[in-house]
Structure 1
Amino acid sequence: MRRANRLVTTGCLTTLIALIVVLGVVVSWLWYRNWHDGNVNSERREQALAAILEQAHARAGDTDRALETSDITDVDALTGVIWQHSKAPVITYDASHREFTATAASSAHYDAKAILPGGGSGQVTRCFVFTFTHRPGQAWKPRVSERDDDVCRPSTQIGNRVRLALTRILSMYAEDMTRARVQETLDPTGRRSFEVKSVVRQSDTTTVTVVVWSSGAAVDQCYRFTRHAPGGDGQGSATAVPVSSC
């Protein structure tokens, strides 16, 4: 009986030691995977951030070249050129300094490694302020500044609301597009997200000028919406371009 007890005790001890060894191997593997994946994710995050910065400078360069090669002097037309290349939802003009300021956030996704199968997706976002200054007799002077995320939050909200307004304007029938009806369609809850200034219909084109507000009316941007074709049934197209004022 004692011998049998010793054998059982020895067997249990061996099993316990084996379990401890296995547990140690598993813990070491998990620690290594966490360390390795963390390093890989940090590297991929930095690459995504570098790509965002490179793209921001490329957009500034493209905008600068477009401004230099244009003979445009009208502020609204110049605003359109800047928007076309920067895609900034908010673009303002300071007449005293002859300077345009465009504010936009840029995001990039990257594949994030994870211990569990399937991995994941990471995202990085940066806020940029582009300025384009033009002195008489001088070339355009572009500048790119990286700012805190809070600076771009109103711009991002306005961009989202412009896309929503495009969808709602495209859903309307041309004969229904009076100033009051468009106002009701864009801002049915009366939260002052939109303020319709004018609606002009010519042939198969309807032009709507709207002030688009960010939350709390902290920032606003005037937009010119152009709706082509009858609409209302999902047909036709609509565009939105920021302008200096309504």
Structure 2
Amino acid sequence: MTTGCLTTLLTLTMVLSVVVSWLWYTAWNNGNINSDRRETALASILDRARDMSDDTAHALDVSAATDADALTAVIWQHTKAPTITYDESRREFTATTASSAMYNEKVLLPGGGPVKVTRCLVITYTRHPGTAWTPQVAERKDEACHPGTEISALVRLTQTHLASMHAKDLTRAAVQQRLDPNGTLQSYDVKNVVHTGDTVTLFILVSSPGTTVGQCYRFVRPAHGNNSQNPATAIAAPSC
């Protein structure tokens, strides 16, 4: 091998070594940056949840409501948690919800961008005689929030169905048929339909398929025509 060829080979080896080292360092550095960004995003979820729980507790304190239905409505309005349960013996409400945040992922090659991270949160609101409502935020495994996520999607689908139905069809049997035409979904149980003046109120138990998790929802929509441009409102209720 001539001296020129050897020199060229050594030069190429050095260049390749520098490139490999740069790629390794860049990948390592990007990994650290992404890890920090992920942790920051996850921390922001907890920060928001604590602020939300404090605001909700304050709303419960100033509310004149005393019954479980009205208090559940207050919690729903502030948290939008798909499942809210009430333990009468402990006078404790439990709201379970998945909350997300975004961060920009740094990558070596094109293709990076926004990444969503999610935390499953359980927020309890407890009140003992003579005290204010006390909130507590805890994190659970993602599996604990899967039923609620499915219920939330089913509630939105229910709103769409109810909005497109004519008022005369808003009966218990007709709504049940519309939501579950074949009677095989086991996700909907229309408990009651009440026509009052200009509105129709429907109480429907919405359940996560394949689980024992269900949540009663109160749907309200106008009692005339259909209203596909303005879906029925929905709010969680302690029972149907």
Task: Using structure 2 for the length normalisation, give the TM-score.
Answer: 0.92
Q: Alignment RMSD, CA only?
A: 1.9
Q: What is the alpha-carbon distance in structure 1 between the residues aligned to residue 85 and residue 167 of structure 2? A: 31
Of residues 220, 230, 244, the one that matches 2:238 is: 244
Give ranges in structure 2 of 5+ residues lacking alignment. none
Of residues 102, 117, 129, the one that matches 2:122 is: 129
Q: What is the alpha-carbon distance in structure 2 between the residues aligned to residue 203 and residue 73 of structure 1? A: 26
2:128 is paired with a residue whose SS is: coil
Of residues 201, 204, 208, the one that matches 2:202 is: 208
Q: What is the alpha-carbon distance in structure 2 between the residues aligned to residue 14 and residue 204 of structure 1? A: 90
2:210 is paired with a residue whose SS is: helix
Give ranges in structure 1 of 5+ residues lacking alignment. 1-5
Correspondence for 1:217: 211
Contact 2:160–2:228, Cα closer than 8 Å, also in 1: no
Equivalent residue letter for 1:166: Q
Identity of aligned residues (%): 57
2:161 is paired with a residue whose SS is: helix
- For structure 1, which segment, 116-125 or 63-72, has the greater mean C-alpha deviation from structure 2 after superposition? 116-125
Q: What is the alpha-carbon distance in structure 2 between the residues aligned to residue 171 and residue 22 of structure 1? A: 67
Correspondence for 1:182: 175
Of residues 1, 16, 32, the one that matches 2:9 is: 16
Query: Does residue 101 of the first structure (1) align with residue 94 of the second (2)?
Result: yes
Of residues 219, 226, 237, the one that matches 2:220 is: 226
The 1:227–1:233 alpha-carbon spacing in structure 2 relative to 1, beyond 3 Å, is closer
Equivalent residue letter for 2:199: T
Q: What is the alpha-carbon distance in structure 2 between the residues aligned to residue 19 and residue 27 of structure 1? A: 12
- What does the per-residue CA deviation read over 1:10-46, in whole Å, with 9 as the maximum and x for residues that have no partner? 4543443333223222211211110111111011111
Correspondence for 1:3: none
Larger-Rg structure: 1
CA positional deviation for 1:245: 0.6
Contact 1:228–1:237, Cα closer than 8 Å, also in 2: no
Contact 2:125–2:133, Cα closer than 8 Å, also in 1: yes
* 1:71-220 superposed matches below 5 A: 71-189=64-182, 190-220=184-214
Structure 1 consecutive aligned stretches of length 4 or more whose deviation exceeds 6 Å? none
Q: What is the alpha-carbon distance in structure 2 between the residues aligned to residue 149 and residue 202 of structure 1? A: 41
- For structure 1, which segment, 59-68 or 11-20, has the greater mean C-alpha deviation from structure 2 after superposition? 11-20
- Number of residue pairs the alignment of both structures matches: 239
Contact 1:229–1:237, Cα closer than 8 Å, also in 2: no
CA positional deviation for 1:233: 6.2
The 1:76–1:22 alpha-carbon spacing in structure 2 relative to 1, beyond 3 Å, is same
Contact 2:163–2:226, Cα closer than 8 Å, also in 1: yes
Q: What is the alpha-carbon distance in structure 2 between the residues aligned to residue 178 and residue 153 of structure 1? A: 31
- What does the per-residue CA deviation read over 1:161-199, in whole Å, with 9 as the maximum and x for residues that have no partner? 111211222122222222222112222342111111122
CA positional deviation for 1:117: 2.0
The 1:16–1:185 alpha-carbon spacing in structure 2 relative to 1, beyond 3 Å, is farther
- For structure 1, which segment, 203-212 or 54-63, has the greater mean C-alpha deviation from structure 2 after superposition? 203-212
CA positional deviation for 1:208: 1.2
Equivalent residue letter for 1:111: N
- For structure 1, which segment, 134-143 or 26-35, has the greater mean C-alpha deviation from structure 2 after superposition? 134-143
Task: Using structure 1 for the length normalisation, give the TM-score.
Answer: 0.90
- For structure 1, which segment, 138-147 or 79-88, has the greater mean C-alpha deviation from structure 2 after superposition? 138-147
Contact 2:159–2:231, Cα closer than 8 Å, also in 1: no
Contact 2:163–2:232, Cα closer than 8 Å, also in 1: yes
The 1:181–1:16 alpha-carbon spacing in structure 2 relative to 1, beyond 3 Å, is farther
Contact 1:63–1:86, Cα closer than 8 Å, also in 2: yes
